[in-house]
Structure 1
Amino acid sequence: MTNTESTSAGATSTSAGATRVVGGVELPAAGVWKIDPGHAEVGFIGRHFMLTKVRGRFTGVDGAVTVAERPEDSAVLVTIDMTSVTSGDQTRDDHLRSDDFFDVAAHPTATFSSTSVSWIGSGGVLDGELTIKGVARPVSLKVEHLGVVRDPWGNDRAVFSAKGRINREDWGLSWNMVLEAGGILVSKEIDLELEVELVRETA
């Protein structure tokens, strides 16, 4: 096994100083926590024919969270490899990478940078700016902290999930087809689902 494999087997209690209590809730200690690309996923859900859910994800995710003493002062910076998109269908994935959608040849990465954080207990709202194809638009994510564990190789990991909803046309992702019976082929509204493990940086 490598040190990027799942933390579920053999996880132990956290090391000293990896957590602190804020408002009666255990949260990650202040400092820089790097995203583990092997355990980070940005998922998206759209609807086909306005009925069937189609799920996709980006597996190439990198970045860091700077956890502040006050959670609301924390900052997030994420880079997404747009070429890593996968939806379980090669034809659809190739279309998503084309200039009808993400145009990965010209814009291989997207970024998210936080602008504000509100936090109560073990969850909060993360507001930020998502840039896709050179277009920056505001995004709001509901975030939940799931806990901190120590993996078998001595790394402290903080686990978070987040959800949000965007209109893809805000980023110029407007390709669609009008259906003969009415409606459109692909929904404009896209649900986002994120699962991220952060590894604590140590001096």
Structure 2
Amino acid sequence: MVDTKVCNYVLCSERSQINFTISHFVLSKVSGHFSRFFGCALISEMESVDYAFLKIDVTSIRTGNSIRDRNLMKRSYFNSSEYRYIECEVKDLDLKKTLDHPVDFHVRIKEMEEVIPFNVFVISANSDMINLRITGKIKTQDFGLKWPSPIKAGLMVGSEANLSIFLSLFRGQTTIENLGNNPSQSSSVHVASHRK
């Protein structure tokens, strides 16, 4: 999925969140989040997203149970030693029409890629900053994610994850292939000026 593309907006992870809930075989659900992720977009005239890319570090998953988190890193689930990142990409998105219909995202987990519809809401947008809320569902079995066995019943998770994502992007420049590799390219350097 990754190629050399220049972005003019960069995700500020300090102001963004990637949260999820997933069904549980003992409790009603498990809530969690990812704490490390990177992203950028090429946006034209505040109306059109030519492309946007989100890169999520699966080793940063937190579900409130360290044993469960370690199991999720194993080969039968995320297999983080070989596949460190979840990758999400969207192209040709008209920001004025996001309320009319879901937006197709290309989601890659391990070696599997699926096109999944998500709801995109523009919270605010100007020449310096864009805030988005994204919601949707992912079926884990579509990506070959299987809970490690043998298991403890109290740690089991289900096969459908509900996502609630808030993304804040600031004007900046980077390339998709450099996401996460160069901290100086992060939009976090712009945060101080927007807090004044």
TM-score (norm 2): 0.71
Query: Per-residue deviation at 1:119?
Result: 4.3
Count, aligned residues: 160
In structure 2, relative to structure 1, the CA distance for the partners of 1:79 and 1:159 (3 Å cut) is: same
Mapping of residues 9-158 of structure 1, within 5 Å = 32-49=8-25, 52-69=28-45, 71-120=47-96, 123=99, 125-148=102-125, 156-158=128-130
Gapped runs of 5+ residues in structure 2? 1-6, 150-155, 174-196
Mapping of residues 161-200 of structure 1, within 5 Å = 161-175=133-147, 185-200=156-171
In structure 2, relative to structure 1, the CA distance for the partners of 1:169 and 1:50 (3 Å cut) is: farther
TM-score (norm 1): 0.69
Distance in 2 (alpha carbons) for counterparts of 1:115 and 1:157: 19
Residues 140-190 of structure 1: per-residue CA shift (max 9 Å, x gap): 11011111479xxxxx3321110011211000013278xxxxxxx532121
**Which structure shows the bigger proportion of residues in helix conformation?**
2
Residues 25-59 of structure 1: per-residue CA shift (max 9 Å, x gap): xxxxxx82100122222222111127612111112
Q: What RMSD over aligned residues (CA atoms) do the two structures have, in Å?
A: 2.6
Query: Per-residue deviation at 1:95?
Result: 1.0
Q: Is the 8 A contact 2:22 2:161 kept in 1?
A: yes
Distance in 2 (alpha carbons) for counterparts of 1:176 and 1:66: 39
Percent identity between the aligned chains? 22
Query: Per-residue deviation at 1:91?
Result: 0.9
Q: Is the 8 A contact 2:131 2:167 kept in 1?
A: yes
Distance in 2 (alpha carbons) for counterparts of 1:53 and 1:68: 40
